[in-house]
Amino acid sequence: MQSSVINGTVSAHLTRSLVGAMTGADTGRLARLPDLAPEVLTDDLARVSTPSLLTVWENLVLLEPHTLIGPLILEDAPIGTFGLWDYLITTGATLRESLTQAVDLLAVIGDPAAEKLIVEEDGRHFTVRHATGTWGPDLVQAVDLFALSLFLTRARAAAGRHIVPSRVTITHRPPRQARQLAGLFGTDRIQYDAPYNSISFSEDDVHAPLPKAQPGMDRILAHHAELVLASSRPVLGWQDRFRAALTAAFQEDAVSLENVAQRLTMSPRTLQRRLAENDTTWRAQVESVRHEHTMDLLRSTDLPLDSIADRVGYSDARALRRAVRRWQGQAPRDVRRAPRRAPSAG
């Protein structure tokens, strides 16, 4: 169905909706990412790297700490916000058919390599199970709650009424806003610390005819979705996507060949081969990103050297000092004292 070329990427529709939720916030960090430029976010065929999307989520979580930022974003996201994918859910004959098709065509909106969706039926419940990447716990919780809320809000829009899920399971501990979350879901039948994330609907709800269904429209949209996927292309080339994935791994303290290979949906051996084809090695790339990350932390934060050493993977401040002298020919304190050079006008 879909080409592996879009693995490790998400749609511009999804990305710009999340960036739009940051209105009024300092988005300087985002502006430095090439696949988050305005001309990219307005291109419906553009595919943004998943590490760049995670940077957006990081900013959202920091902007709204201790809130249900994922579900709350969807309160102001009407049908159409996520483009074609939204309409896959509202045009089928029943909610069962529409949700199943939307799960099958997840790649239209999300990263098929990082987001896993499974549909299950047991005769009483229709369940959508969700799992995402192994990122920081705050990010994973925000993404998980966003995904479950996405299916609920779209199911309600498709049915034209306030559907209440028959069951919700969440792998995380109850948040401080557990009562608010129960209000958004419309039920207190929420199991926390569950083995998987899921949202279930009753068989009566999923088999009821949808008011906006148009015979044959669901098949037309599914065919169009396949064409969109075939025409979509990542904004970043492979090397830039690799660097983005490696940088994200540093930020999450999860730097390993296996971890980064998983983010890029390839085996560690294939990743090493791709690096060799680009005349570099895993070790050289790790050293390069560690250098960049260290310099950024030294120049833009007041973190103690022990904290920086821990963040970039050194055993202690002494090892960090040796590395900085090797890279810069000066001590970390001198790097911090040096004035920042203004960007070139050319």
pLDDT for res 340: 59
Please give the pLDDT value at position 342. Answer: 45
**89 and 181 together in one domain:** yes
Question: Does residue 127 surpass a pLDDT of 70?
Answer: yes
Quick check: is 192 in a domain? yes
Q: What is the pLDDT of residues 34-67, one digit of tens each?
A: 889 889 999 999 999 888 888 888 888 877 777 8
Q: How confident is the model at residue 346 (pLDDT cuts 50, 70, 90)?
A: very low
Q: Please name every residue paired with 167 in a beta bridge, in sequence order, or none if there are none.
A: 200
Task: Return the DSSP state at 94.
Answer: B
Residue 54's pLDDT is 83
Q: Say yes or no: 220 and 243 in one domain.
A: no
The mean pLDDT value of the chain amounts to 88
- Could you tell me if 138 and 285 lie in one domain? no
**Given a cut of 70, is residue 24 above it in pLDDT?**
no
Claim to verify: residue 243 and residue 148 sit in the same structural domain: no
Residue 82 has pLDDT above 90, yes or no: yes
Domain annotation covers residue 342: no
* Higher-confidence position of 188 and 31: 188
> Is the confidence at residue 86, as pLDDT, over 50?
yes
Residue 343, in any domain of the structure: no
Q: 292 lies in a domain? A: yes
Residue 346: inside a domain = no
CA-CA distances (angstroms) from residue 112 to 131, 154, 155, 209, 253? 11, 20, 21, 29, 24
Using DSSP, state whether 36 is helix, strand or coil. helix
Pair 242, 178 in one domain: no
Asked if residue 184 and residue 259 are part of one domain, the reply reads: no
| 186 & 201 share domain | yes
Residue 289, pLDDT > 70, answer yes
Q: Decide if 87 contacts 101 (C-beta within 8 A).
A: no
Q: What is the mean pLDDT of residues 133-162?
A: 90
Residues 43, 179: one domain? yes
Q: Are residues 176 and 245 in the same domain?
A: no
344 domain residue, yes or no? no
Q: Which of 213, 231, 249 is the last residue of a domain?
A: 231
Confidence of residue 28 (pLDDT cuts 50, 70, 90): low
State the chain's maximal CA–CA distance in angstroms.
Answer: 71
The answer to whether the CB of 107 falls within 8 A of the CB of 85 is no
Count the domains in the chain. 2
pLDDT reading at 182 higher than 50: yes
Last residue of a domain, one of 206, 231, 256: 231
Residue 156 belongs to domain with CATH number = 3.90.1520
Confidence band, pLDDT 50/70/90 cuts, at residue 25: low
What's the whole-number mean pLDDT along residues 228-241?
Answer: 90
Q: Is the pLDDT of residue 216 over 80?
A: yes
Measured between alpha carbons, how far is 21 from 29 in angstroms, rounded to an integer? 15
Say which CATH number the domain at 317 has.
1.10.10.60
Q: Which residues span the domain enclosing 151?
A: 4-231
Boundary (domain end) residue, out of 186, 209, 231 = 231
Decide if pLDDT at 98 tops 70. yes
pTM: predicted TM-score of the whole model, two decimal places: 0.78
- DSSP letters of 275-327? HHHTT--HHHHHHHHHHHHHHHHHHH----HHHHHHHHT-SSHHHHHHHHHHH
CA distance 266 to 98: 31
pLDDT for 43 equals 94
Residues contacting residue 80 through CB under 8 Å, at least 6 positions apart: 86, 87
**Would you say residue 23 has pLDDT above 80?**
no
Residue 78 CA to its chain's centroid (Å): 20
pLDDT of the residue at 51:
81
What share of the chain in percent tops pLDDT 90? 60
Per-residue pLDDT band at 27 (split at 50, 70, 90): low
In a domain, 270, yes or no: yes
Region 195-217: mean pLDDT is 94
214 and 290 housed in the same domain = no
111 DSSP assignment: -
Distance CA 188, CA 144 (A): 18
Contact 41, 19 (CB under 8 A): yes
Spatial distance between the Cα atoms of 311 and 53, rounded to a whole number of angstroms: 21
Please check whether residues 158 and 298 belong to one and the same domain. no
- Tell me if 140 is assigned to some domain: yes
pLDDT at 42: 92
149 and 291 both lie in a single domain: no
- The percent of residues above 70 in pLDDT, for the chain, comes to 93
